Amino acid sequence: MASMVRYVVHPDARGAAPRRSALAKQPARPLQAAHAVPPARLTPEARADRAMRTIVSAIDELIAARLAGGFAASEWVDQCSSPLGRRRHLALVRSGVLRGVKEGRRVLVRRSDLDAYLAGHRPPPTIERDDDVEGMIRAIAGGIR
């Protein structure tokens, strides 16, 4: 974590330079909401530091949220969100066709394993029904020769 910086009130804001005290030698504390100095009274460096801390905090929260539910979750599929349906998903894991990991009540399967299974089990192409029986016979006979 970055070191804490004490915000200094700009000398022009109160008309005089801030007094030094024994408290100034203590380690800096983060600003509390009740003790926050208004941005207009901060030095430009202190304002830039405050903005940087706000941005770093927001990025930290975003990364934590993404890791908790965004990136890691897309790699795994549970039985509720499986394209196979809940029962088929669980049956394939029980039979060993798909490798699964149980986490609480969820049974997770890697998306890549699920995609490979689906690619290997495509439904057969549907044959369009044609009432022209003689045309079908000619087509079959023409393919045999």
Examine the pLDDT at 1 and tell me if it is beyond 80.
Answer: no
Nearest CA to 82 among 13, 90, 60?
Answer: 90
Mean pLDDT of 54-64: 90
Question: Which residues 6+ apart lie within 8 Å of 29 measured at CB?
Answer: 4, 6
Same domain, 89 and 61: no
Domain tally for the chain?
2
Q: Would 71 be classed as within a structural domain?
A: yes
Per the structure, the complete domain to which residue 45 belongs is given by: 38-75
Say if residues 132 and 114 touch (Cβ distance below 8 Å): no
DSSP state, residue 66:
I
Count how many residues are written for the chain.
145
End-to-end CA distance of the chain: 79
Q: Looking at the domain assignment, is residue 28 inside a domain?
A: no
Asked if residue 71 and residue 87 are part of one domain, the reply reads no
Whether 102 is covered by a domain: the verdict is yes
Q: What is the pLDDT of residues 65-102, one digit of tens each?
A: 777 765 454 689 999 999 999 999 999 999 999 999 99
Question: Does residue 65 fall inside a structural domain?
Answer: yes
pLDDT of amino acid 96: 92
In this structure, the answer to whether residues 82 and 71 fall within a common structural domain is no
Q: Are residues 83 and 62 in the same domain?
A: no
pTM (2 decimals)?
Answer: 0.38
